[in-house]
């Protein structure tokens, strides 16, 4: 098959998937258990009856995209409000990355400041201002070529899970901060300890009147009570969401608190949010149909995927410890990651250091799993879905045990 795409993954793979069902993704006649359905956007799995029914409806309605205010986006916002009642308004976007771009625009507009504080190890999508990380020498380095070299002057990264050092840095830059932003639970290290650190940082920001901004694009709907901030009773001024809310359709949105909204109105700020497909009728319709189903069934959905994740993590960790294998599973709610060291990891930089000589073995492991019918995500973030059952997980555990022991 001729392939003219330059997007990530297309230059290295001849395995182009063509359909999905339940927790399986297909390539021709071959099927694979997908451990990160739709990059985590398919909370119910592929082709869930409630969603396929919605697609059949939309095919008869001729509402692809009006590029104009539409009732489907308004209906979606009403159901989002039921899950996130703390926000006064929502700005609809086409992806989580776009939501982050526009949320930062809001933060700069209302504070008239430019310095973004980001927490190390967070991933906020393909956003130029945020495509940086700290290296082993604690210096900022870019993740991509082609970035404006001046962007680095308006970004400071504080160390994840190191509260005292984070506060020292925040106090140093206090007068120039437009926002402190972070992923509440990082795919690079999903762990309960991170939740305690984030809560303390949020309390500091609220005390100092700094905009505290959570990127809940992965965690939104996936955690109990609809979000990390609701689960942990954290006060945010602004947050971004996406993925699961669209149930496979492109979506992202910003939740704006009443405090931020008042500043925008009082100062008559002009902030551009527009886009041809922003709040488009198709994504809004599918997202709203999904939320109707989710709101009725969310307790059993969340309970099931949390139980599956807990079982997966426990079974593997018992096996690794019993057999003295230098591997551990970390998890929080329905997010998990296999860390290829038994050392107690506290942040992504430490994890990268401990795993840096194991990348070839990890790649071989992923290839082994593929031959066994398992699609293990290349970024290592495991996001389980409602279509999974114990037999699927038992098979994955069995394959991981036999493959990991070969390399670790």
DSSP labels, 199-217: HHHHHHHHHTT--EEEE-T
Mean model confidence pLDDT for the chain: 94
**What distances in angstroms separate CA 259 from CA 47, 213, 296, one per listed residue?**
40, 13, 31
Q: Which helix (H) or strand (E) holds 68?
A: none
Three-class secondary structure of residue 149 per DSSP = helix
Paired tokens of 95: 């992806």
For residue 352, the model assigns a pLDDT of 87
**Judgement on whether residues 105 and 229 belong to the same structural domain of the protein:** yes
For residue 85, the model assigns a pLDDT of 97
**Judgement on whether residues 222 and 302 belong to the same structural domain of the protein:** no
- Among the candidates 274, 291, 308, a domain finishes at 291
First to last CA, the chain: 36
Whole-prediction pTM: 0.95
For residue 392, the model assigns a pLDDT of 98
- Among the candidates 291, 306, 338, a domain finishes at 291
pLDDT, tens digit (0-9, with 9 covering 90-100), for 212-257: 999 999 999 999 999 999 999 999 999 999 999 999 999 999 999 9
Span 161-177, mean pLDDT? 97
DSSP state of 94: S
The answer to whether residue 1 sits within a structural domain is no
**Judgement on whether residues 147 and 253 belong to the same structural domain of the protein:** yes
Q: Which residues pair with 90 in a beta bridge?
A: 255
**Judgement on whether residues 79 and 133 belong to the same structural domain of the protein:** yes
Domain with residue 389: its CATH number is 3.90.1150.10
The number of C-alpha atoms within 13 Å of 47 and in the hemisphere containing its C-beta is 9
Q: How many residues does the chain have?
A: 408
Rounded Cα distance between 234 and 212, Å, is: 10
**Judgement on whether residues 70 and 44 belong to the same structural domain of the protein:** no
Total structural domains within the chain: 2
Rounded Cα distance between 117 and 171, Å, is: 12
The answer to whether residue 278 sits within a structural domain is yes
For residue 31, the model assigns a pLDDT of 96
φ/ψ (deg, to 5) at 238 = -155, 145
Identify the residue whose tokens are 């809560």: 199
The answer to whether residue 67 sits within a structural domain is yes
For residue 270, the tally of other CB atoms under 10 A from its CB is 7
Of the pLDDT bands very low, low, confident and very high (cuts 50, 70, 90), residue 12 is low
Taking a C-beta distance cutoff of 8 angstroms, is the pair 339, 328 a contact? yes
**Judgement on whether residues 118 and 262 belong to the same structural domain of the protein:** yes
Span 377-393, mean pLDDT? 96
The answer to whether residue 12 sits within a structural domain is no
**Judgement on whether residues 284 and 375 belong to the same structural domain of the protein:** no
For 7-11, 227-231, 297-301, which range has the lowest pLDDT when averaged over its residues?
Answer: 7-11
Rounded Cα distance between 402 and 404, Å, is: 6
Q: Which residue has the higher pLDDT, 313 or 2?
A: 313
Crossing angle for the helix pair 192-207 and 163-172, nearest 10 degrees? Answer: 30
- Among the candidates 238, 259, 291, a domain finishes at 291
Q: Which residue has the higher pLDDT, 3 or 122?
A: 122
107-120 burial, b at 16+ Cβ within 10 Å, e below that, comes to bbbbbebebbbbbb
The answer to whether residue 13 sits within a structural domain is no
% of residues, the chain, pLDDT over 90: 86
**Judgement on whether residues 251 and 132 belong to the same structural domain of the protein:** yes
Residue 14 has pLDDT above 70, yes or no: no
Rounded Cα distance between 257 and 264, Å, is: 11
H helices then E strands: how many in the chain?
Answer: 11, 16
From 266, 174, 171, 182, select the one nearest 216 (Cα to Cα): 182
**Judgement on whether residues 96 and 218 belong to the same structural domain of the protein:** yes
Of the pLDDT bands very low, low, confident and very high (cuts 50, 70, 90), residue 136 is confident
Residue 1 has pLDDT above 80, yes or no: no
pLDDT, tens digit (0-9, with 9 covering 90-100), for 145-167: 999 989 999 999 999 999 999 99
Of the pLDDT bands very low, low, confident and very high (cuts 50, 70, 90), residue 9 is confident
**Judgement on whether residues 44 and 66 belong to the same structural domain of the protein:** no
The answer to whether residue 11 sits within a structural domain is no
For residue 93, the model assigns a pLDDT of 97
Residue 202 has pLDDT above 90, yes or no: yes
Three-class secondary structure of residue 156 per DSSP = strand
H helix intervals, 281-358: 281-322, 348-355
Domain that holds residue 354: 19-48+298-407
Of the pLDDT bands very low, low, confident and very high (cuts 50, 70, 90), residue 13 is low
**Judgement on whether residues 396 and 253 belong to the same structural domain of the protein:** no
The answer to whether residue 323 sits within a structural domain is yes
pLDDT, tens digit (0-9, with 9 covering 90-100), for 179-199: 999 999 999 999 888 889 999
The answer to whether residue 345 sits within a structural domain is yes
pLDDT, tens digit (0-9, with 9 covering 90-100), for 313-357: 999 999 999 999 999 999 999 999 999 999 999 888 889 889 989
Taking a C-beta distance cutoff of 8 angstroms, is the pair 135, 157 a contact? no
Rounded Cα distance between 87 and 258, Å, is: 7
Span 20-36, mean pLDDT? 96
Question: Residues near 147 by Cβ (< 8 Å), separated by ≥ 6?
Answer: 128, 131
**Judgement on whether residues 324 and 196 belong to the same structural domain of the protein:** no
Rounded Cα distance between 122 and 131, Å, is: 10
CA dihedral 102, 107, 109, 112 (to 10 degrees): -150
Domain with residue 90: its CATH number is 3.40.640.10
């Amino acid at each position: 098959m001729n392939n003219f795409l330059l997007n990530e993954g297309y230059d290295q793979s001849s395995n182009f998937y063509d359909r999905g069902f339940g927790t399986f993704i297909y390539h021709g006649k071959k099927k694979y258990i997908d451990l990160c359905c739709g990059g985590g956007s398919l909370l119910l799995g592929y082709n869930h009856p409630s969603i396929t029914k919605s697609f059949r409806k939309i095919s008869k309605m001729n509402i692809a995209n009006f590029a104009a205010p539409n009732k489907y986006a308004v209906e979606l916002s009403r159901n989002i409000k039921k899950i996130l009642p703390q926000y006064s308004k929502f700005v609809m976007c086409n992806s989580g990355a776009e939501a982050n771009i526009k949320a930062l625009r809001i933060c700069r507009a209302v504070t008239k400041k430019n310095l973004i504080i980001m927490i190390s190890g967070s991933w906020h999508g393909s956003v130029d201002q945020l495509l940086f990380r700290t290296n082993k020498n604690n210096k900022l380095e870019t993740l991509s070529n082609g970035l404006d070299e001046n962007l680095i002057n308006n970004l400071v990264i504080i160390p994840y899970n190191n509260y005292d050092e984070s506060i020292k840095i925040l106090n140093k830059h206090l007068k120039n901060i437009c926002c402190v932003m972070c992923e509440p639970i990082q795919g690079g290290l999903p762990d309960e300890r991170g939740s305690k650190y984030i809560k303390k940082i949020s309390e500091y920001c609220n005390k100092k009147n700094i905009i505290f901004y959570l990127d809940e694009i992965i965690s939104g709907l996936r955690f109990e009570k609809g979000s990390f901030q609701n689960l942990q009773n954290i006060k945010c001024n602004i947050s971004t969401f996406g993925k699961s809310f669209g149930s496979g359709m492109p979506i992202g949105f910003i939740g704006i608190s009443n405090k931020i909204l008042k500043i925008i109105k009082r100062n008559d700020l002009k902030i551009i949010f527009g886009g041809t497909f922003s709040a488009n009728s198709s994504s809004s319709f599918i997202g709203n149909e999904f939320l109707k189903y989710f709101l009725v069934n969310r307790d059993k959905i969340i309970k099931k995927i949390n139980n599956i994740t807990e079982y997966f993590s426990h079974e593997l960790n018992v096996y690794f410890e019993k057999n003295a294998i230098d591997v551990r599973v970390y998890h929080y709610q329905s997010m998990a990651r296999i860390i290829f060291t038994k050392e107690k990891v506290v942040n992504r930089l430490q994890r990268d250091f401990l795993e840096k000589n194991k990348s070839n073995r990890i790649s071989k492991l992923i290839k082994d799993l593929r031959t066994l019918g398992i699609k293990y995500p290349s970024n290592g973030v495991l996001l389980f879905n409602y279509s999974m059952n114990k037999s699927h997980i038992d098979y994955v555990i069995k394959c991981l045990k036999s493959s990991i022991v070969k390399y670790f």
